[in-house]
Amino acid sequence: MEKLIVLLSLITLLVSCKQNNPKVIIETNLGEITLELYEKEAPLTSKNFIRYIDEKRYEGATFYRVVTPNNQPDSKIRIEVVQGGLYEDDHPQALPPIAHENTKQTGIKHLDGVISMARYGPGTATFEFFICVGDQPSLDCGGNRNPDNYGFAAFGKVIDGMDVIRQIHQQPEKDQYLEPRIPINNMRIVY
96-152, pLDDT tens digit by residue? Answer: 999 999 999 999 999 999 999 999 999 999 999 999 999 999 999 999 998 899 999
- Helix (H) or strand (E) segment spanning residue 13: helix 2-18
Which amino acid is present at 114? V
pLDDT at residue 14 greater than cutoff 70: no
Q: Are 152 and 119 in contact (CB under 8 A)?
A: yes
C-alpha count within 13 angstroms, C-beta hemisphere, residue 88: 10
DSSP tag of 96: P
| DSSP three-state, residue 159 | strand
22-56 pLDDT per residue, tens: 999 999 999 999 999 999 999 999 999 999 999 99
Q: What gap in Å lies between CA 138 and CA 149, rounded to an integer?
A: 9
Of 91-95, 157-161, 174-178, 186-190, where does mean pLDDT reach its minimum? 91-95
| DSSP three-state, residue 174 | strand
pLDDT at residue 67 greater than cutoff 90: yes
C-alpha count within 13 angstroms, C-beta hemisphere, residue 144: 4
Q: What gap in Å lies between CA 80 and CA 67, rounded to an integer?
A: 5
List domains and CATH numbers for the chain: 22-190 (2.40.100.10)
36-45 pLDDT per residue, tens: 999 999 999 9
pLDDT at residue 8 greater than cutoff 50: no
Tell me the pTM.
Answer: 0.90
pLDDT, averaged across the chain: 92
